[in-house]
Amino acid sequence: MNEKKLQQEDLIEKQNKTTSLQFNRRNFLYTIAASSVAFYLSGFIKPTSAPLEVRNIIPPRLDTAYLGEKVLCYRPMRRGVPNMTIESVGSQLVAHNYGHGGSGWTLAPGCSKYVVGLVEASPKGKSISKDAAVTVVGGGVLGLFTAYELVQRGYTNITVVADSFDKLTSHNAGGLLAPVSMSNNPQIQPLIDKIGIDAYKFYALVAQGKQQDFQNGALIVPAYFEDRESSGLEPYVGKVMQPAKDVILDFGNGTQRKMVSYDDGIFIDTAKMMVALHDFLASKVKFEKKKINKLSEVSSSLVFNCSGLGASKLNNDAEVVPVQGHLIMLRDQVPADLQSMILVYFSKGKTESGHEAKRSFYIFPKQLPGSAANDIGVIGGTFIEGGTPDTPNLKEFEILVGNARKFYGI
């Protein structure tokens, strides 16, 4: 297989990527990935002499009959940093836990522990008894993991309030554990990495069947990326993960791709994990379906704001923006062929609504609760900052399938 031709195709795909270093980790990673390919081609990075391990991967079935539901959803991204702070508002203590962009699942167990820890370390938090009324606003993964953490710490009077508990971004998310699509100020990155490493430990226990409260919902499977930098996982290596390996993926049709593999990658089966979280909490917290218009209308003295995109109004936060994503559920696949994860980036482009789209191809072994064993797999996806339900950008679904085919050479 002509490996150099593939590298050149990748380079052409990437030449539109930004070259300016900004506070945006995603852009930073794009730049590093593009430069390393250019260096490789120009001979500055010599290929290793040892032959690379070749792994046979059978591509998913991507004909129309094998494509299931098309899903549009919106990452709650807060520019600069997720809000994981506490503040005193009158007699109330408000703890914020929102704005985690495309990494909410990756971070949720760790940042919920972090934010509840901030509360308990504060003078006002110390004065709140474990049987005092506590309200969590938001029924997504951030709200549910915050409630879980409160239960772990002995709080007994918890209410989770949300205007919706169904078909949330948290149910729709892909499920890769990697701190990638966020918009972090570099100064905050060490904290994000620490929180992610905490979360990795939690999900690894779930995957190994050693977490007492959750037996299912996470798997340890190889995670393939174009390079180490674009995985966001290097800070995890040596702490909770093994070093990545350089490998060749062989798709059995004459197409090969040079990738890096983190063999101890973690896939979170997001829709199933949402059910598991609800089941665990059902007997321990109250759930109330209600829209909150102002945090001050909540009567409890301790309030957790886990309202995702809702925080732009609830906390009057102009830094919160939706990042639209397109996903397609796969059906009638061969489950044994879908036991890994892949994430690669394509070039940026303009959508039909005029928004800038960062296009990628990813595939994860996601399954919806109660679905047949062969209805497995999700492909994505786009990152369209500012995209809303009024600008669905439906052509992106076709582009996504086209990019998937291109990646596999089918």
Ligand X SMILES: Cc1cc2nc3c(=O)[nH]c(=O)nc-3n(C[C@H](O)[C@H](O)[C@H](O)COP(=O)(O)OP(=O)(O)OC[C@H]3O[C@@H](n4cnc5c(N)ncnc54)[C@H](O)[C@@H]3O)c2cc1C
Using rule CB under 6 A, residue 176 touches ligand X: yes
* Pick 98 or 397: Cβ nearer ligand X: 98
What minimum distance in Å lies between the beta carbon of 73 and ligand X? 4
Give the torsion through C-alpha atoms of 56, 67, 267, 11, to 10 deg.
Answer: 60
Q: How far is the C-alpha of 333 from the C-alpha of 311, rounded, in Å?
A: 39
Using rule CB under 6 A, residue 380 touches ligand X: yes
Give the x/- contact pattern for ligand X in 333-372, rule: CB under 6 A: ----------------------------------------
Q: b/e per residue, 206-231, with b = 16+ CB within 10 A?
A: bbeeebeebeebbbbbbbbbbbbbbb
Q: How far is the C-alpha of 380 from the C-alpha of 397, rounded, in Å?
A: 9
Using rule CB under 6 A, residue 300 touches ligand X: no
Given 128, 233, 314, 363, the residue binding ligand X (CB under 6 A): 314
Given 59, 60, 76, 387, the residue binding ligand X (CB under 6 A): 76
Give the x/- contact pattern for ligand X in 113-152, rule: CB under 6 A: ------------------------xxxxxxx---------
* Pick 37 or 330: Cβ nearer ligand X: 330
Using rule CB under 6 A, residue 168 touches ligand X: yes
Using rule CB under 6 A, residue 163 touches ligand X: yes
Secondary structure percentages of the chain, helix, strand, coil, to 5: 35, 30, 40
**Given the rule CB under 6 A, which of 58-66, 123-131, 163-171, 353-361 is the region that contacts ligand X?**
163-171
* Pick 119 or 137: Cβ nearer ligand X: 137
Helices 141-152, 270-281: axis angle to 10 degrees equals 40
Omega into 354 within 30° of 0, i.e. cis? Answer: no
Amino acid identity of 257? Answer: R
Sheet containing 286-289: order of strands: 86-89, 92-96, 302-305, 134-137, 158-162, 286-289
Of 351, 361, 364, 352, give the one whose Cα is nearest residue 405.
361
> Which residue ranges make up the site for ligand X (CB under 6 A)?
73-76, 98, 100-106, 137-143, 161-164, 168-170, 173-176, 291-292, 306-308, 310, 314, 325, 327, 380-381
